[in-house]
Structures are given as C-alpha cells and as structure tokens.
Amino acid sequence: MYSLSSQKKYWTFKTEQELAELRVKQNVRFITKHGAGMTEEQKQAHFLSADEERLLLKQYELQLKEFCKRFEPPMPKYVVGTAFHYFKRFYLNNSSMDYHPKEILATCVYLACKVEEFNVSIAQFVANIKGDRGKAMDIILSNELLLMQELNYYLTIHNPMRPIEGFLIDIKTRCNMSNPDRLRPGIEDFIDKTFLTDAPLMYAPSQIALAAVLHAASKEQENLDSYVTESLFGSAKDKLPVLIEAVRRVRSMVRTIELPPKDRVRFLEKKLEKCRNQENNPDSQIYKQRMKKMYEDEDDLDVMGSSYHMNVSDASLDVSQLNTTNPANMTID
C-alpha cells in the first residue's frame, strides 16, 4: 500500500524547490571536493553547474525511455516506471560528474528487471546494448550494489499502472462513457511523459493515474468532472481541492516538458568527460588499477581460504591416523 510505503515516507517530496536544493547540494559537494585550489572562474569553466547537470540528465532520461522502448523481449510499463524511479532517486544523492549517467542508466534498468521479476539474464540484457557487451556487463554488475546502497535498499516502487486499471474498471461500472478502453493510448502517452518530469517524486501513483485518465478523456472530448466529484469523492469532498491541485500540477508539468537542445547536450557531454571523477571512469587508468587491486585482494582471500581448508583437512587426517594406530587416544581422562 502506497500510503504506508517507503516510497511515500522517504522518496516523495513536497515541492520542486526541495528537489532542486538536493541537486544543487550534490553539485556543490562534488566541486568542493574535486576543485580544491581552483578559482571560482576556473571551477565554472571546468565543472558542470547544477543547471547543466539537470539538462544532461534530462537527455539521459530520454535515452532511458528509448532503451526500454526498443528492449527485447518487450518490457512491461511497470518495469520502465521502476527504472525511472531508481534513476531519479540516484541523482538526488549523487552528481552526474561522480557517476556517469550512461552507466547508471543501464544499471537502473537491469535492477528494475530483477526487482519486478521481469526475468532476463544478464546476457540477454546486454544483448540490447550496442558496443562492447562484455564491458557493459562488467559495468552493470559492478554498479548494482552501489545503486542499491544509494537507494537505501528501498527497492519497491508503486507505479500508476495499477490505479489506472482500477479507474478504467470503475468508469465502465459507474460512468456512461462508451468504450473507456479507447482512452488507453492517451493514458499511455501521458504516463510516458510523466517519466520525463519530477511528478513521480512528488505525487502519489493514484494522483498521476487520475491525471492521465482525465487528460486522455479530454483528448476524446469526454468530460469526467461529475465522475470525479460525485462518484469518486461524493462522500469525501474535503479531499477534493488537494486532488484537483495535484492533478492540475501533474498535467502542467507534462505540458511544459522541454527537450534539451542537441548542440547544448553535445557541449555538456564533452565537458563531462573532462570533469568526471576518473576513479569511477572504466576507461581511466586509475579505475583499472583500482579494479585490478580489488581482484588481487579477492584472489589473496581465496588462497588464504584454500590454505585454511587444506590445513584443517591435514589435521583431520593426522588425528584419524593417530586414533587408528592407538585407540587409547580416544579415551578422555
């Protein structure tokens, strides 16, 4: 139930300003850490600003949407919704300069597939990725635990898909609309657009679902005002103003989506490559050396473990031989 969920308690925010402040905080923290010794002018020229990070992340949200759309086998909408939630949450706690969005994006989708029980193997998953699939597999698996940690292990996501089905069933039962299923294309288009806004971080799934249904109905020249005021909230009219405002805000957010300018995105991509944290860049020598050391440490632990098991085995053998040659040793004084 959403009202008792970790999503509502820890990951639902009241205003866009609150979200903006969290993003600025991560931007400032990264620049303070990695820009020591630089002047303010040098920092501005070298690092991404909070607004530039936000613009770049919007571009990667578009890429996330397209990746899920092209995915084989076809990906259910609730898996897509969960992946978007993970991606948005991750960058409330981190800067895109610390962890490149293209790497976190794939990890978010992969984790969403697992959590939502959309069963695809890692080999099937990376088959949907262009380029070096072995490298992609390593990046995804190495980032999976990091992602879960940054989500504070709150992995259950309540998406608007189930409330949408409830509304459509209810409309068929208590409304005179002919063939409510004709609203589905408009609803799906609206939900896809909400993923490109902050609505999933601010509003309940049922509020987003109702906004989608009302939007689709208006596109079909259908009026559901009386259904909302009389059927849904006839006995709870005191809650109606809050709902109306939430629906209005969600629809406004969808209506005012702006796509990032391509030339601006290309410039920011180049800037990001220069200022990103090289310790988290799989192509950097620092990263490769760190991973090599980690694997060597793991090998050392494996050797120590094998040595331990061998010693235990040898000791057991010696005791066995001792007891066989001298049964008196079994006696406890």
Shared-domain flag, residues 81 and 200: no
Is residue 270 assigned to a domain? no
Residue 232 confidence (pLDDT): 86
Q: Report residue 116: phi and psi, to 5°.
A: -90, 5
Shared-domain flag, residues 180 and 217: yes
Shared-domain flag, residues 24 and 88: yes
Residue 312 confidence (pLDDT): 42
What is the rounded distance in angstroms from the CA atom of residue 52 to the CA atom of residue 272? 10
Do 185 and 142 meet the contact criterion of CB atoms below 8 Å apart? Answer: no
Q: What range defines the domain where residue 237 resides?
A: 160-256
Burial class (CB in 10 A: 0-12, 13-18, 19+), 90: buried
CATH number (domain holding residue 98): 1.10.472.10
Shared-domain flag, residues 173 and 120: no
Is residue 181 assigned to a domain? yes
Task: State how far the alpha carbon of 110 is from the alpha carbons of 96, 126, 127, in Å.
Answer: 19, 9, 12
Domain C-terminal end among 105, 127, 156 = 156
What is the rounded distance in angstroms from the CA atom of residue 225 to the CA atom of residue 35? 55
Number of domains in the chain: 2
Kindly report, residue by residue over 70-123, the tens digit of the pLDDT: 999 999 999 999 999 999 999 999 999 999 999 999 999 999 999 999 999 999
Shared-domain flag, residues 203 and 247: yes
Shared-domain flag, residues 8 and 146: yes
For the chain, the 3-state helix, strand and coil shares in percent, each to the nearest 5, are 75, 0, 25
Residue 143, Ramachandran bin (φ over 0: left; ψ between -120 and 50: alpha; else beta): alpha
- What's 307-333 look like in SS3? HHHHHHHHHHHHHHHHHHHCHHHHCCC
pTM (two decimals): 0.87
> Of 106, 105, 99, whose CA–CA distance to 30 is shortest?
99
Is residue 313 assigned to a domain? no
Q: How many angstroms separate the first and last alpha carbons of the chain?
A: 64
What is the rounded distance in angstroms from the CA atom of residue 256 to the CA atom of residue 272? 27
Domain C-terminal end among 237, 256, 275 = 256
Is residue 246 assigned to a domain? yes
Query: Count of H helices and E strands in the chain?
Result: 15, 0
Is residue 321 assigned to a domain? no
The position carrying tokens 């490149």 is 100
Shared-domain flag, residues 216 and 78: no
What is the rounded distance in angstroms from the CA atom of residue 275 to the CA atom of residue 43? 10
Shared-domain flag, residues 147 and 245: no
Shared-domain flag, residues 164 and 237: yes
Is residue 52 assigned to a domain? yes
Other Cβ atoms closer than 10 A to 210:
24
Other Cβ atoms closer than 10 A to 231:
14
Shared-domain flag, residues 249 and 124: no
Shared-domain flag, residues 165 and 245: yes
Domain C-terminal end among 156, 180, 204 = 156
Q: At what angle do helices 161-174 and 77-93 cross, to 10 degrees?
A: 130
Residue 283 confidence (pLDDT): 86
Is residue 282 assigned to a domain? no
Do 224 and 213 meet the contact criterion of CB atoms below 8 Å apart? Answer: yes
Shared-domain flag, residues 9 and 140: yes
**Regions of the chain short of the pLDDT cut 70:** 294-333
What is the rounded distance in angstroms from the CA atom of residue 251 to the CA atom of residue 253? 5
Is residue 298 assigned to a domain? no
For residue 255, the Cα-to-chain-centroid distance in whole angstroms is 23
